[in-house]
Chain A
C-alpha cells in the first residue's frame, strides 16, 4: 500500500534535518521520511546541527531535546536568533509525553513536538502539515515583497510623471496669463475667453499633478518636515484671509471664531498651511452658496493639545462613506456646490501630514447640517 501514499504535490524533495544522538532513532525517522520522498540530513549534536543548517538550509528540523553539549531548546533558540522569521519550523522529539518539556520547547521557538516511540502515521501527518504551512508562509512573504516592490515602482513612476508634467503645465498657465494681461498686445473678448479657458484648465491640472506628486513623495517615505516655531493662529489667519477671496464668489464667509492663546508650535509651516488651506477650501467647496464656515482654535491644557476645527454647512458625510474620507482617491458621493474640481487626494495628504506631526485628523457630522473636520496637534514641550 506504500506506493499509494503519495507525497502531496510540492513537498517531495523537501529537506529535513534530523538531530538526535541516538542513531537508531535517526534510522527509524529517516526510513519513514525517505519513503515520503523527503531528503534527510542528520546531525548527532546541537553544535553539528547548527553547522549543518547553514549549508543545507532545510525546510524543517526534527530536534531531540536531550543532546550532548547544548540541548535541543538552546539549539532552537540559536537557530531563531540567527535566522529569525526565515528559520525553518522546528519540531521537538521528546522521550516521553512530558508536558513541561513541550511547554519549554514551544517557548524556545518550536512549532510542535513528536513523542517517542514514533507512530509513523502521526510523524508523516504532522510533518506534512508543518511543511505545507511553511511553504504557504514563504509564498506569502514572496508576494508581500513583490507587492511592495510594485508599489515602490508605482510611486517612482507617479513622481516622475507628475514632475515631468508640472513644468510644461506651469508654463502653459504662465503664458496664458501673459496673453490675458495684454503683456504681448490686446486681445478681443472672444480671444480673452479662450485664453481664460486655457488658463483655468492648466491651473486645475496643476493642482492634480501637485497632489499626485505629494502622494508619491509621502508614499515613498520622503515626507520630510522642516519644523520651526510657528504661531498657529497667525498661520490660520493668513489662510482664512486668502480663502475668503475665493469664498466671496459663492457669497460664503469664512470666519475665525475662537482663538486659543497663542503658544508657538513646532510644526512645518508650509505643510501645515497646506492642511489648513485644504480643509478651508473643502468647507467652501461643499457648502451651498451663502454659507458660513467657522474656524475654531482651541487648546487642551491637560492633554497638551492644540485643536483646529473647521465647520461647514454642507450636506455632511454620507452614512457609510466615512472610512473612505482620508484614503487615497477616496472621493465621496457628495458634489462640490459650485462645479469645483476634486482629486480625492487632498484629505489623504492632510492625514499624512498631520500624522507626521504626531497629530490626528477626524471628521464628524454636526447635529443640524454640515460637518466638522478637526485636527489636533501635540504641543511642543
Chain B
C-alpha cells in the first residue's frame, strides 16, 4: 500500500479513536484527524475533505448511517469505511446501499482490521497511487 492521503476517524469512544489511530499509523498514514460524533464528523468533512473516513455506527444523536448519508450528499465519491462492533445484517446492508466502501468489525484481531483497511484503500485509490 502506498496511500499518502488523509484520514478522518469518527468514534464517540476515545479509547477506540486511540486504537484506530494506531492502526492507521501502522499503515504509514500520518494525516489523521478525529471527530467524536456525527455532527462534528460532517463539519470536519466539509472543512478538510479527508480522502478516507473511518466511521463508527453506534453513536449518540446522529448515528453512523445518517452521518454516512450526509457525507455522501456533500461528496458522492467520498470513501467511507464503517467500523463497528455490532455487525447486524440490516445495518451492513443499509451502509453498503448508502455507498460505504466496506464494513469492518472492530472487535476482530488488529491484523485483520489492518489487512481489510489496506485492501479497501488500495481498491479505492490503487496500490501505487500517491495521494497528496
Contact = CB atoms under 8 A, between A and B. Distances in A.
Given A163-B86, A166-B85, A177-B110, A171 B16 contact: yes
Most buried by B among A163, A168, A178: A178
B106 A170 contact: yes
A206 interface: yes
Interface in B81-125: 85-86, 89, 106-107, 110
A226 B86 CA distance: 16
Contact of B19 (A166, A171, A224, A226): A171
Interface string B26-60: 10000000000000000000000000000000000
A10 B85 CA distance: 54
B22 A167 contact: no
Interface size class of B (residues with CB under 8 A): 10 to 19
A184 interface: yes
A122 to B, nearest CB: 63
A174 B19 contact: yes
A171 B22 contact: no
B19 A183 contact: no
Main SS at interface, chain B: helix
B59 to A, nearest CB: 12
B13 interface: yes
Contacts of A218: none
Contacts of A175: 15, 18-19, 22
Interface of A: 163, 166-168, 170-172, 174-175, 177-178, 183-184, 206, 224, 226
19 contacts: A163-B85, A163-B86, A167-B13, A167-B15, A167-B16, A167-B107, A168-B13, A168-B15, A170-B19, A171-B15, A171-B18, A174-B23, A175-B22, A177-B110, A178-B19, A183-B25, A206-B107, A224-B89, A226-B89
Q: 7 closest A-B pairs (Cβ-Cβ)?
A: A171-B15, A170-B107, A174-B19, A178-B22, A171-B19, A174-B110, A167-B85
